[in-house]
């Protein structure tokens, strides 16, 4: 049988193909495409809608749109939103631009969605088509990122060890769990240091759980994590399992009352060391079956471990500083009297030894000089301690910069002459400026700079100290023709106990650090400019009077 297709209009075949193609596209679209009539009954329900809502097409065709909308929103959709859109001039628009919209699945669960709606008149009937997308995973991803961002801020807010522990557990119950415990490996075993809870009524249970020591003989998830270094998920909290892990009857009672159904234990590891574990307890069965939630819990664990390790290192550093301060206090007290005795006896010896005993007098002078160096070291250490504690006292008063230059001249002129150095101290202003400073402390800071310049400038070189105005500050510049400072060493120059390589110095590296502390205590600045082989220029600014 042969059909005569010549009678079919040429445009009709492409139109039929286009209709089939369009229908196929609508059917396989991942988004839900739903068309309703003016009575809000469902006419079209594509495959994407079936997958999102859980209904088959046959189950919903002819049904009211209400079955896809949570009950609390139905009245608004039916009586307000859709009628208003029908009466308005717009042919299409986004839905719920001012608030989140939700869909209702066949199993009764709700999900967040974004949607747009359009209207079209067909054969005198007004049809509405909604294109809807389930944004559950997008929102969860955004929430997870927000949890990590909030956790970062929270964990960075303190370096106190105990505060960090509490913050870690609190973050966990805010985002993932009903309870959270943090168990830390210590020298004498593993200790449960903190247990947090979400519901205020669970405070007694959390406190009771924290008091119960862990029993190494029990197959507790904590031991599995510490042995393997990997996360452990327990989804079956049966009575038999509780009895197996409970350390005693009180522990079993607490676990029963917690009514936990799922536990995720993650390692707390930082800088290659396993610090302990973090346990998320949930009353929701299967709470941690989603790999994304497990990844979030592990990420929180990594951040928590790093914060905890930073807090531990900070605590150890504070203890070391306290021990050092104790040693400095002992030094300052116990060395004071012996040094005074050395000073007194060396002066007596110098007065009583005949001048012709040159060698003997030189030996005594060496003893006196060594004692002075030791006294200066003790003084520097005590000054550094005061600076670090913020207890360096300065008593600013008006002083002429010319008088300060004279003080430096009195202290260093002879020393410069002994090295055949040209020492120049000059004010670059017609009228010497007046500074507001503690004279002795400022001379100490400037003296450290001038002393270094003289020490490192070769014989026949030049050291200069120049004063000028710099806005509402007075600037002192200490300039030398020494070997200069390599660029890689400049950033560390004012660090305490730091020594330049190949400097030949035999001090503990406190002079510049102390000078910085003194200048900053005046509200001033100190910095250096230097090129290797071209000398160095140190600058100090302090407020003018």
DSSP secondary structure letters along 371-440: HHHHHHHHHHHHHHHHHHHT------EEEEHHHHHHHHHHHHHHHHHHTT-EEEEEE-SSS--EEEE-HH
Average pLDDT over residues 455-467: 95
pLDDT on residue 148: 85
pLDDT on residue 268: 94
65-78 pLDDT, tens digit per residue, is 999 999 999 988 88
From 5-9, 212-216, 457-461, 511-515, the region with the lowest mean pLDDT: 5-9
> What are φ and ψ of residue 477, in 5° steps?
-120, 125
Q: How far is residue 225's CA from residue 219's CA, in Å, rounded to a whole number? A: 11
Q: Nearest-CA neighbor of 263 among 301, 291, 289, 302?
A: 289
Could you tell me the two tokens for 43?
């006419």
Average pLDDT over residues 282-303: 90
358-406 pLDDT, tens digit per residue, is 888 888 888 887 787 777 777 777 777 788 777 788 899 999 999 999 9
In 3-state terms, what secondary structure has residue 453?
helix
For residues 68 and 36, the answer to whether their CB atoms sit within 8 Å is no
For residues 535 and 480, the answer to whether their CB atoms sit within 8 Å is yes
Asked if the model's pLDDT at residue 5 lies above 70, the reply is: no
Instruction: Pick the most confident of 153-167, 319-333, 463-477, 504-518.
Output: 463-477
Asked if the model's pLDDT at residue 14 lies above 90, the reply is: no
Average pLDDT over residues 148-152: 85
Q: How far is residue 71's CA from residue 76's CA, in Å, rounded to a whole number? A: 10
Q: What is the mean pLDDT of the chain?
A: 87
79-118 pLDDT, tens digit per residue, is 888 888 888 899 998 886 777 889 999 999 999 999 999 9
In 3-state terms, what secondary structure has residue 475?
strand
pLDDT on residue 149: 86
């Amino acid at each position: 049988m042969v059909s005569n297709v010549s009678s079919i209009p040429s445009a009709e075949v492409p139109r039929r193909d286009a209709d089939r193609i369009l229908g196929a596209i609508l059917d396989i679209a991942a988004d839900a495409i739903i068309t309703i009539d003016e009575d809000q009954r469902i006419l079209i329900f594509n495959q994407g809608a079936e997958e999102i809502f859980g209904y088959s097409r046959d189950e919903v065709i002819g049904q009211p749109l209400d079955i896809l909308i949570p009950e609390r929103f139905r009245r608004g959709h039916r009586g307000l939103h859709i009628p208003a859109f029908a009466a308005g001039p717009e042919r299409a628009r986004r839905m719920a631009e001012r608030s989140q919209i939700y869909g209702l699945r066949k199993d009764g669960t709700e999900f967040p969605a974004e949607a747009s709606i359009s209207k079209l008149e067909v054969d005198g009937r007004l049809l509405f088509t909604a294109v809807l997308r389930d944004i559950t995973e997008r929102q969860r991803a955004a929430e997870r990122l927000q949890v990590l961002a909030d956790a970062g801020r929270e964990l960075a807010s303190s370096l106190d060890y105990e505060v960090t522990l509490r913050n870690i557990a609190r973050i966990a119950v805010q985002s993932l769990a009903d309870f959270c415990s943090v168990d830390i490996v210590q020298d004498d075993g593993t200790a449960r240091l903190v247990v947090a809870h979400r519901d205020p009524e669970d405070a007694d249970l959390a406190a009771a759980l924290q008091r119960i020591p862990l029993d190494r003989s029990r197959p507790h998830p904590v031991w599995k994590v510490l042995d393997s270094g990997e996360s452990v998920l327990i989804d079956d909290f049966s009575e038999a399992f509780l009895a197996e892990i409970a350390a005693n009857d009180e522990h079993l009672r607490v676990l029963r009352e917690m009514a936990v159904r799922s536990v995720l234990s993650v390692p707390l590891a930082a800088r290659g060391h396993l610090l302990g574990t973090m346990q998320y307890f949930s009353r929701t069965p299967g709470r941690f079956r989603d790999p994304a939630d497990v990844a979030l819990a592990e990420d929180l664990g990594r951040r928590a471990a790093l914060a905890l390790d930073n807090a531990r290192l900070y605590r150890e550093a504070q203890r070391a500083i306290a021990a050092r301060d104790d040693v400095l206090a002992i030094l300052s007290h116990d060395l004071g009297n012996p040094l005074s005795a050395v000073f007194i006896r060396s002066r007596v010896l110098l007065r009583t030894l005949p001048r012709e005993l040159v060698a003997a007098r030189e030996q005594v002078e060496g003893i006196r000089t060594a004692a002075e160096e030791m006294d200066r070291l003790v003084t520097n250490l005590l000054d550094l301690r005061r600076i670090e504690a913020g207890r360096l006292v300065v008593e600013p008063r008006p002083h002429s910069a010319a008088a300060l230059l004279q003080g430096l001249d009195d202290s260093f002129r002879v020393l410069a002459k002994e090295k055949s150095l040209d020492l120049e101290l000059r004010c670059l202003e017609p009228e010497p400026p007046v500074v507001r400073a503690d004279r002795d402390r400022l001379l100490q800071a400037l003296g450290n700079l001038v002393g270094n310049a003289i020490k490192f400038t070769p014989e026949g070189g030049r050291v200069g100290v120049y004063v000028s105005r710099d806005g509402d500050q007075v600037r002192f510049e200490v300039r030398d023709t020494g070997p200069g400072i390599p660029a890689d060493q400049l950033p560390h120059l004012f660090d305490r106990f730091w020594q330049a390589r190949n400097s030949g110095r035999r001090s503990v590296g406190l002079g510049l650090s102390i000078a910085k502390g003194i200048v900053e205590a005046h509200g001033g600045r100190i910095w250096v400019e230097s090129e290797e082989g071209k000398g160095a220029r140190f600058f100090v600014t302090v407020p003018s009077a």
